[in-house]
Amino acid sequence: MSNIAVGNILEGTVVGVQSFGAFVNIGENKQGLVHISQIASSYVEDINQFVKVGDKVTVKVLEIKNDGKISLTMRIHEEKKEDRRPFKKRDDNRGPGGRSQGQGGRSSSKEDFESMMKRWMKTSEDKMGDLGKREKRR
C-alpha cells in the first residue's frame, strides 16, 4: 500500500535543484517538487542556501495532480491555516475613497441602487469640482 497521499509526512532525498524548487525522491519510484516558496517560511532568494542534491529532507504531500505530479512542502511545522484566527470583515461604515462616513454613511444594506448611484454621482461631481479648482490655481 502506498504511503504517498495528501497530508502524509515523508522522508525523502533531494535529487535535483532548480531555481524554482527542489525535486525530492519520496520512494516508490516517485518524485515530487518542493516549490521555492515551500522551502522555508522566510524569503528564499537562493535555493542552494537551503538544500543540495543528496540532502535527506522531511516533506509533506500537499497535492497529487491528475497527471501524477506531486507537490510537496518542507514548511511542515508552521501554523496551519485552520489554527489561525478567522478573518473578520471590518464594519466601520467607510464610504467612497475609504474615508469614514460615521453615521452619515450608508443608511442600510438594503439601500436601493438609485440612491446609491445618486450618492456616488454627487461625490464624483464634488471631487471633479475640487480638481477643476486646483487646476485653475496653477
Q: Domain holding 65: CATH number?
A: 2.40.50.140
Q: Is 97 helix (H, G, I), strand (E, B) or coil?
A: helix
Domain that holds residue 49: 9-77
CA-to-CA distance for 26 and 18, rounded, in angstroms? 17
State the cell numbers at 124: 464624483
Taking only the tens place, the pLDDT of each residue in 78-109 is 655 555 555 565 555 555 555 545 445 555 55
Amino acid, single-letter form, for residue 44: V
pLDDT of residue 17: 95
Q: Looking at per-residue confidence, does 61 or 104 come out higher? A: 61
Tell me if 129 is assigned to some domain.
yes
CA-to-CA distance for 22 and 72, rounded, in angstroms? 9
Q: Are 90 and 100 in contact (CB under 8 A)?
A: no
Q: Is the pLDDT of residue 110 over 80?
A: no
Q: Is the pLDDT of residue 57 over 60?
A: yes
Closest CA to 59 of 107, 129, 6: 6
How many separate domains does the chain show? 2
Single pTM value for the model: 0.56
pLDDT of residue 103: 46
Tell me if 53 is assigned to some domain.
yes
Q: State the average pLDDT for the chain.
A: 81
pLDDT of residue 48: 93
Tell me if 56 is assigned to some domain.
yes
